[in-house]
Chains A and B, each alone.
Chain A
Amino acid sequence: MTAKQTDKENNEKTKRKELKALGFIIVVLFPILSVFAIGGYGLIIWLMQVFGGASPH
């Protein structure tokens, strides 16, 4: 196995990792985070309404 070959393998590995990470982020993580963020925002408004009375629109 040459160093070049190892490099190439490493590159392949990194590429797979990066692709996987990207896929994970855009397909799983960020949508979940977004939904949680939006939901949390809604929850905060709701709770403010319930306890505080007034709320932002």
Chain B
Amino acid sequence: MKWLINLWQTLNKPAKYLTLGSISLTAFVMGIIFWGGFNTALQATNTEEFCISCHSMESKPYQELQKTVHWSNHSGVRATCPDCHVPHSWGRKIARKMEASSDVWGWFFQTVNTSEKFESKRLEMATREWGRFDRDDSLACKNCHNYDSMKWEDMSKLAQKQMKRAAEKDQSCVDCHKGIAHTLPDMGTARAPELIAEVGTGPSKFNDGQTYFTALTKPLFFSAKGDVEAGTLNVATKVNVLESKGSRVKVAIKGWRKKIGAGRVIYFDFGINMLTAQLSKEAVKTEGVIKGFEEKEDDMTGLKWQRVETELWTDAEYLITEQQPLWDYARDTFRTSCSVCHTQPDEAHFDANTWPGMFQGMIAFVNMDQDTQALVQKYLQQHSSTFVKKEH
């Protein structure tokens, strides 16, 4: 303790012995040495050699990188680890270094030193990294890739459309481009990821009274809180949001149902087998859930139909403001997937009620998840000869 007081006393007085020149010179020289040393050390931690000196970095991410276009391509430019993983601005770089303290921790306690441990933590680590890219608006990508320098003409129309949409919002690149330099983690049962990547998950706030469209097939609930399902809402279905509460919205669904069985299935329109929603038996039995209106007989089948409306709750996600992106995605999927064996028929070659039969009979060799299948079928029905008058 005494030496500290002594030190303080010494520092608190003007130097008696040391000249101002020698002090300032020493300070200046030492400043240079310190700052140089600091930056050299910082620089050293920003080299690929440093990154892959760690076994777990060398054996996994580095090896994976070597299989990608960021490692080798015809222009001969390649990205090193820090190009993407260390921000280029000074402040953020320092922040990143602080963040990296957890890496040191991990290295010390060997949290990912085996392949199994690495794989089990892959999603967690990747999510952290995606989060950082997001925070930075993917600046690391944008140091090389620039929306303004993209040559739209060379892109496919679909790519153009998606890129331009992203450029308008100056969207973060990893929103869509995940798993391009390292193996994509097993993300469990994410539904229709490609569809969602294109149409988005929808807004986070909903305007009461506005129209939205479902981007996936969604569960319906009786109330804003409870988890009793009242049925499912089909993909690409138009709903009217009535109110928001917590993580749910109340939606109004309109359509027609066949008066057979319990009448649990709501269709798009009278006599048209385009699925809007399927309700549970409980929902149909519960007083007031379904409001029935006029009835008509469908001449083509002899079945009675009834116009109905219902108001139920659904999770406030995957409700998007436009229907067109859904149709664009469906059209592209139809043209690609359904031409593997034969030329895909024109959408307007069949009517809305014939398409389900044609489509269902041909999907054996088509790789579509349930949501995409439902969407493509609805797209075909919506663009069938029932709605599009066209010579065929």
Q: Which of A19, A31, A34, A46 is B95 in contact with, Cβ under 8 Å?
A: A46
Docked complex: A1-57 residues within 8 A CB-CB of B = 11, 14-15, 17-22, 24-27, 30-31, 34-35, 38-39, 41-43, 45-46, 49, 53, 55-57
Asked if B95 and A15 make an inter-chain contact with CB atoms under 8 angstroms apart, the answer reads no
A49 to B134, CA, bound (A): 10
At the interface, is chain B mostly helix, strand, loop or mixed? Answer: helix
Known A21-B7, A21-B11, A24-B7; contact A45-B95, beta-carbon cutoff 8 A = yes
Known A21-B7, A21-B11, A24-B7; contact A45-B92, beta-carbon cutoff 8 A = yes
What interface size band does chain B fall in? 20 to 34
B293 at interface, CB cutoff 8 A: no
Asked if B7 and A57 make an inter-chain contact with CB atoms under 8 angstroms apart, the answer reads no
A18 to B17, CA, bound (A): 8
Q: Which of B17, B18, B27, B98 is A43 in contact with, Cβ under 8 Å?
A: B98
Q: Distance in Å from the Cβ of A30 to the closest Cβ of chain B? A: 7
Asked if B16 and A18 make an inter-chain contact with CB atoms under 8 angstroms apart, the answer reads yes
Known A18-B16, A18-B17; contact A34-B94, beta-carbon cutoff 8 A = no
B10 at interface, CB cutoff 8 A: yes
A30 to B96, CA, bound (A): 23
Q: Which residues of chain A have C-beta atoms less than 8 A from B34's C-beta?
A: 26, 30-31, 34
Asked if B17 and A41 make an inter-chain contact with CB atoms under 8 angstroms apart, the answer reads no
Known A42-B91, A45-B91; contact A26-B10, beta-carbon cutoff 8 A = no
Q: Distance in Å from the Cβ of A57 to the closest Cβ of chain B? A: 4
Q: Which residues of chain A have C-beta atoms less than 8 A from B90's C-beta?
A: 57
Q: Which residues of chain B have C-beta atoms less than 8 A from A56's C-beta?
A: 91
Instruction: Return the chain A residue nearest B91 by Cβ.
Output: A45
B389 at interface, CB cutoff 8 A: no
Q: Distance in Å from the Cβ of B103 to the closest Cβ of chain A? A: 14
A38 to B18, CA, bound (A): 30
Q: Which residues of chain B have C-beta atoms less than 8 A from A26's C-beta?
A: 26-27, 30, 34
Asked if B135 and A53 make an inter-chain contact with CB atoms under 8 angstroms apart, the answer reads yes
B97 at interface, CB cutoff 8 A: yes
Docked complex: B55-98 residues within 8 A CB-CB of A = 89-92, 94-98
Asked if A49 and B15 make an inter-chain contact with CB atoms under 8 angstroms apart, the answer reads no
Instruction: Return the chain B residue nearest A24 by Cβ.
Output: B7
Docked complex: B129-173 residues within 8 A CB-CB of A = 132, 135
Q: Which of A15, A17, A21, A46 is B98 in contact with, Cβ under 8 Å?
A: A46
Q: Distance in Å from the Cβ of B8 to the closest Cβ of chain A? A: 9
Select the residue from A11, A43, A45 with max chain B CB neighbours within 10 A: A45
17 chain-A/chain-B pairs, Cβ below 8 angstroms: A11-B16, A14-B16, A17-B6, A18-B17, A21-B7, A22-B18, A26-B34, A34-B34, A35-B38, A39-B97, A39-B98, A42-B94, A43-B98, A45-B95, A49-B92, A55-B92, A57-B91
List of 6 A-B pairs having minimum Cβ-Cβ separation, nearest first: A42-B94, A46-B95, A57-B89, A45-B95, A15-B17, A42-B98
A39-B97, A42-B91 given. 18 additional CB < 8 A pairs?
Answer: A14-B16, A15-B16, A15-B18, A17-B10, A18-B10, A19-B18, A21-B11, A22-B26, A26-B26, A30-B34, A41-B94, A42-B97, A43-B95, A45-B94, A46-B96, A49-B132, A57-B89, A57-B90
